Amino acid sequence: MVSAIDTAAIIISRDAHNISRAHISENALKVLYRLKNAGYQAFLVGGGVRDLLLGRHPKDFDIATDALPEDVRGLFRNCRLIGRRFRLAHIHFGRDIVEVATFRAHHEDAAEEGEGVLRDGMIMRDNVFGSLESDAWRRDFTINALYYNIEDFSVADYTGGMQDLHDGVLRMIGNTEVRLQEDPVRMLRAVRFAAKLEFHPEAELEDAIKRLADRLEVVAPARLFDEVLKLFMSGHALQTFELLRQYGLFHYLFPQTAEVIDNNEPFVLPFIRQAMVNTDHRIEQDKPVTPAFLFATLLWVPVRQEAERLRESGMSPIQSLQVAAETVTREQQQVITLPRRFQTPMKEIWISQSRLEHRRGKRPLSFLDHPRFRATYDFLLLRCDIGELPPELGEWWTRFQEVSDEERRAMCNAIGGSSKRRRRRRTSKASAKANDS
C-alpha cells in the first residue's frame, strides 16, 4: 500500500526516460495534441505509459485530461460518451478507439449528489472530477499511475510507480483492503498484471486478495466475462491459472471446475494446464483463439462427469452429453455470462466428442466437412495428450485428414471389420462359457 503522505510528485524529464512519440499510436497523438492546443492538460496514462517504460509495445493508449466529457465531445466529431458508472469519452478512428477520461477526485469531494456513490464499500457511480494529482491517487496500482505529458514530454509520478516498475513490485495505491472492496475486479487485475509483467504483488496485497476473494460474488456476471477473456487471452494463460488458484479466486469464477479439482479428479489439472499452454502458444504465433474453445476446456471435466452419471442411468452417449452441456452451462451462467454466440460452439465441441470416438461407416466422412470439426478435433487431441483417451484415436483422426477419400473409406471399413471381429470373439467366449456351465 502507498498513500498520499508517502511521496511527493516527481517529474522525470524527457532525457531521463525512454518514452518516444515514435512508439505512441498516431491517433493517440492526434488526441493529445488537439486537447493541448485547445488549452487543456493532456497526458498519456496507465498501461500504455507502463509498457512503454518497460520497453514493450502497448496496443491501447488511454488519455487523462482536465477537459470534461462534454468538452471532449465538443472537440471531436468522432467522439461518443459512454458509461454511467464511470463516464468516458471514446474517440473513434475506424476500428481504433482512443479512450479519454477526465481527472477523477475522491468520492467525498463530489459537488453533486449521486456522482460519487458507494454501496457496501463498492463503487456504484464514479463521476467526481478533480485534478491531475487527485487522479493519480485514485488509480489502482502505482505502476498504472504514471503520466506522460505531451506539453514537455516529461513523466509525472505521484505514487512511487517508477521505483515499483524498476523493482518489479505490484503495489496498491491507498488502503489496500478498501480499494479492493471498492472494486473487487481489481483482484483479477492484480493477477493479470502479475502474470503478464512477471511482477510480484506486495505481501499486503496478496493477503488482502486471499481474504476478500469472495467479494467477486457481487460482481456482475457480464463484467466477469470480459475480465476472464483478458485474463486468459493475453498470452499468459497458464501463469494466470496458477495464480488464480494460489489466491483462491478461481473458485469464484469456475466453481464447478474448482470442485472437481478439489476432489482430485484425474486428468482435470493436466487437461486445463495443457489447454492454457496451447492457448499461449497460439497467441504467441498470432493465431486466433476463440472464447468458445477456452470455456469448453475450463468446463469440460464437470460436463464429462455429469454425462457419465447420466449414461449410468441409461442415457445414450450423445444425449447424456447434450443434457450435461445444458446443465453445466446453466450453472456457470449464474457466475459468468456466456454469450449465446460462444455457448453454441462450446456445446457442439463437447457433444461432438462422442462422434469422434465412433469411426465406423460413413459418419467420419461426413463429419470431416462440419464447420466445427477442427475445434472438435483439436479438443480431442488435448484429451489424448493428457491420457484421458488413447493416443491412437488422435493419430487415427490426424491421418484421416491427410489421406485420399479412397484411403479414408478403407480406414472406416477397417474399423468396422475390427468391431465385427471383437463382437465375434465376445460371442464365442459367451457361448463357450455357457457350454462349460
Angstrom CA distances, 351 to 96, 210, 317, stand at 38, 36, 9
CA–CA separation, 204 vs 201, rounded Å? 8
Q: Which residues contact 425 (CB under 8 A, 6 or more apart)?
A: none
Residue 198 buriedness (CB in 10 A; 0-12 / 13-18 / 19+): exposed
**Per the structure block, which three cell numbers stand in for 232?**
486468459
CA 364 to the chain's CA centroid: 34
Please state, in angstroms and rounded to a whole number, the distance separating the CA atoms of residues 157 and 146: 5
Contacts of 435 (CB under 8 A, 6+ apart): none
Catalytic residue among 51, 66, 135, 140: 140
Catalytically annotated residue among 60, 167, 207, 385: 60
Per this entry, what is the length of the chain? 437
- What own/partner pairs with CB < 8 Å and gap ≥ 24 does 375-378 have? 375/290, 375/292, 375/293, 375/296, 375/345, 375/349, 376/348, 376/349, 376/352, 377/401, 378/293
Judge whether 62 counts as a catalytic residue: yes
What b/e readout covers 24-51, taking b as 16+ CB neighbours within 10 angstroms?
bbebbbebbeebbeeebbbbbbbbbbbb
Burial class (CB in 10 A: 0-12, 13-18, 19+), 428: exposed
Residue 71 falls in the annotated catalytic set? no
Contact between 147 and 49 under an 8 Å Cβ cutoff? The reply is yes
Neighbours of 139 (CB within 10 A): 23
Between the alpha carbon of residue 110 and those of residues 66, 68, 84, 139, 229, the distances in Å are 16, 15, 15, 17, 33
The Cα-based distances of 165 to 123, 208, 333, 430 in angstroms read 27, 21, 37, 73
The single residue of 62, 126, 183, 280 carrying the catalytic annotation is 62
Task: Fill in the DSSP letter of residue 95.
Answer: T
Which residue in this structure is represented by grid cell 480406414?
411
Measure CA 395 to chain center. Answer: 31
Question: Among all residues, which ones are annotated catalytic?
Answer: 60, 62, 140
